[in-house]
Amino acid sequence: MQFISRRKFVVLATTGVAAAPLTSMARTISGGITAQEIIDRIRKNIGVEWKPDTVDTFKAGYPTTVVTGIATTALASLNVLGAAVKAGANMIVTCEPIFYAKTDSPTPPVRRIPGASPSNEPPTAPPPPDPVFMAKAEFLKKHNLVVVRLSDHWRLRKPDPFAQGLAGALEWSTFTSPGDPAHLTIPETSLDALASHVKKLLKPRGGMRIVGDPNLRIRKVGFLPGSTPIQSALQTLPDVDTIIAGEVREWESVEYVRDTVALGGKKSLVLIGRIVSEDPGMQVCAQWLKTIVPEVTSTWVSAGDPYWRPML
Amino acid sequence: MSVLTAGEVVARIKSNLGFPWRTTTYRDTFKFGDPDTVVKGIATTMFCSYDTIRRAAEQGCNMIIPHEDTYWNDPDKIDVVSGDPSYKLKTDFMREHDIVVFRMHDHMHAQRPDFIYVGCARALGLESRYETTPQSHHFVLPETTLEELAATFQKKLGDRALRVVGNPKTKVSRVQLGVGYATPSINNPDVDVVVSGEQQESDGFLDSPAYVLDAMTLGIPKGWIMLGHNISEEQGMLEMAQWIKSFTPEVPIQLVRSEEPFWVAQ
């Protein structure tokens, strides 16, 4: 229950009153826990030094909002927000941006010139109002939602929660290396059978793309969740039979694995998509939040695979 | 008997472009071999993969003109990859077969028309009569559904790993074509569907898959079709081969397809 209106909070927050007394006031008034207090606990318990320059900040709502429940997700789409509201959550912890770009601005970035390389062209005029941005901002406001991003720091946590989540989702937790869930030794199988297993358990609708011989025997598996550069593939591939990755640049890791296979290397690459690869890691996040924020429920809302493929 | 060197082929490319060579390019340079190498045949390709080089060599081509990188990173930095056994094997093969590699990327996209777009539109069946204005890469097609449009493209290209975001039943007609990693913004009000090669799924300039998901929830007709980087740019290297042939009659020139790298799990 809130005794101070949102409007009043905004006024207080923008008149130069220090944030700390406000935070404690919110707690005193409602007897609940505020979004800022939850962030403070995350920072204290995550086991990673907080970066001064980070995307892990408030993206919508107010730090002083009293939290009724937390929803974690890889991608806070409108569908995910709807499910979070239904579950009684008003604080969303998302791995990826909510407003479609790293800047996470509630208005669209300056539009790219069609067909032009963005780096070569000067910015055009300010963009017109965008119905998707507007509807999302409206939804957040209507439901008084607080959105924070947790990406930079969650990725640095040890052991890697994204790898931990993937191992769990693939029912391979017992096959992970001690202290390193990104490296696994699984019962021997073929690449083809492994792909079917991954498809059955992670349900990527369209995003699953594979490089390598379907009959290749697989025992050593390396995970590269999220988006990774060529250096990660170069470092991981020599010690494994296959890499299961979220997203890589096609001119980097895909071509590297393709060349390695063509040159006789018994290697392979399974791309499951960035969001699909991060989803289980955010389930781990919900479980962790339960332990550090016992006052409210923490629920994982799966973002699912954005992609599909036409059936011919 | 006069002989044609790789350096001479590059000189002819530069003089036929119609605009000055941009000496600041780090992309459009020799990636392997000596410019003095005598050229027996030329192969254009999209990715300069080992398999492409091998097939080009088998067909008598020792000069490769790829659109993309050779050493799995865009600036083709050797120190990034030189510790990997595949780098040694690939360069050993090129040395043994007297291969010379010269990349054509930045200047190709600066040419008018940009052959990469010409090739992609041709392969997709996006005829010029549907293009709003020449080289806008914006097409107004007879109305169809996102599902039908994606299936049509997939059939035309033989693309295994084409991926789509959006409501399959959404009615669409206005297509903005992008290629490679140059993916146009989906939030343009004049665009129903963006078709392109590759785009990061999130955390970039405008994360279009996420935007399309939300547009779909709101009932705003938007679609997103990713062909794959190779598929989207490969066909334009046929136009590049024909263009080079027009001023290099001495040696055979052909497109050697690097082909789609993926298969998909059934």
Q: What are the pLDDT digits (tens) for A10-59? A: 333 333 333 444 444 444 445 799 999 999 999 999 999 999 999 999 99
* pLDDT score of B207: 81
In which residue ranges of chain B is CATH 3.40.1390.30 found? 6-111, 115-231
Q: Is residue A308 part of a domain?
A: no
- The dotted CATH code for B6-111 is 3.40.1390.30
Residue A9 has pLDDT above 60, yes or no: no
Contacts of A115 (CB under 8 A, 6+ apart): B114, B117, B135, B136, B137, B176, B177, B178, B182, B184
- Using DSSP bridges, classify how beta strands B63-66 and B42-45 pair: parallel, antiparallel or unpaired: parallel
Q: Kindly list the residues from chain A whose CB atom is less than 8 angstroms away from the CB atom of residue B189.
A: 128
Q: What part of A 202-231 touches B (C-beta under 8 Å)?
A: 206-211, 214, 227, 230-231
Q: Does B200 touch chain A (CB under 8 A)?
A: yes
Q: What average pLDDT does the segment B138-163 reach?
A: 96
pLDDT band for position B210 (cuts 50, 70, 90): very high
Chain B residues near residue A78 by CB distance under 8 angstroms: 213-214, 217-218
What are the phi and psi torsion angles at A308 (to 5°)? Answer: -145, 170
Given a cut of 90, whether residue B208 has pLDDT beyond it is no
Q: How many domains does chain A have?
A: 2
Interface test with B, best of A130, A138, A236, A258 (most B CBs within 10 A): A258
Q: What is the mean pLDDT of residues B74-79?
A: 98
> Does the structure show a pLDDT above 60 at B154?
yes
The domain in which residue A103 lies consists of 6-150+279-300
Task: Show the tokens assigned to B170.
Answer: 């959404």
In this complex, is the C-beta atom of B140 within 8 Å of any C-beta atom belonging to chain A? no
Task: Give percent above pLDDT 70 in chain B.
Answer: 99
Fold assignment, B115-231:
3.40.1390
Q: Which of A210, A255, A278 to mutate to test the interface with B (most CBs of B within 10 A)?
A: A255
More confident residue, B20 or A109: B20
Contact B218 A78 (CB under 8 A): yes
Query: Looking at the domain assignment, is residue A76 inside a domain?
Result: yes
Tell me whether residues B154 and A312 touch, CB distance under 8 A: yes
pLDDT at position B58 is 98
Mean pLDDT on B201-205: 86
Are residues A28 and A130 located together in one domain of the fold?
yes
On the CB side of B253, how many CA atoms lie within 13 Å of its CA? Answer: 20
Per-residue model confidence (pLDDT) at position A125 = 64
Same-domain status, A247 and A168: yes
For B228, name the nearest residue in chain A, comparing CA atoms only.
Answer: A250
Instruction: Report which of residues A201 and A113 the model is more confident about.
Output: A201
CATH of the domain at A197: 3.40.1390.30
Taking residues B207-224, what's their average pLDDT? 95
Residue A143 lies in a domain: yes
Average pLDDT score over residue span B187-209: 91
Say yes or no to pLDDT of A245 above 60.
Answer: yes
Does A104 lie in the same domain as A18?
yes
Q: What's the mean per-residue pLDDT of chain A?
A: 89
User: Residue A31 has what pLDDT?
Assistant: 75
Interface check for A262 against chain B (CB to CB < 8 A): the answer is yes
Quote ipTM for the complex. 0.97
Interface mutation target, options A57, A121, A197, A263, chain B, most CBs of B under 10 Å: A263
The pLDDT score that the predictor gives to residue A111 is: 58
In the chain, the amino acid numbered A161 is P
| A46 located within any domain | yes
Are the C-beta atoms of B175 and B164 separated by less than 8 Å?
no
Inspect the interface and report whether the beta carbons of B214 and A274 lie closer than 8 Å: no
Residues from chain A contacting residue B209 (CB–CB below 8 Å): 275, 306-307
- Judgement on whether residues A141 and A283 belong to the same structural domain of the protein: yes
A123: contact with B, CB 8 A cutoff: no
Query: Do A22 and A134 sit in the same domain of this protein?
Result: yes
Does residue A64 lie in a domain region? yes
Write phi, then psi, for B107 (nearest 5 degrees): -70, -30
One domain, residues A32 and A138: yes
Query: A165-190 pLDDT, tens per residue?
Result: 999 999 999 999 999 999 999 999 99
Residue B47's closest CA among A269, A229, A251? Answer: A251
Pair A92, A223 in one domain: no
Mean pLDDT score, A71-83: 98
Output the pTM of the full model.
Answer: 0.92
**How much is the pLDDT for A195?**
97
**Is A96 inside any structural domain?**
yes
Task: Tell whether A155 is covered by a domain.
Answer: no
The reported pLDDT for the residue numbered A128 is 74
pLDDT for A1 equals: 36
A217 part of a folded domain = yes
For the sheet with B223-226, list strands across it.
B138-145, B171-177, B193-196, B223-226, B163-165
Chain A interface includes B122 (CB < 8 A): no
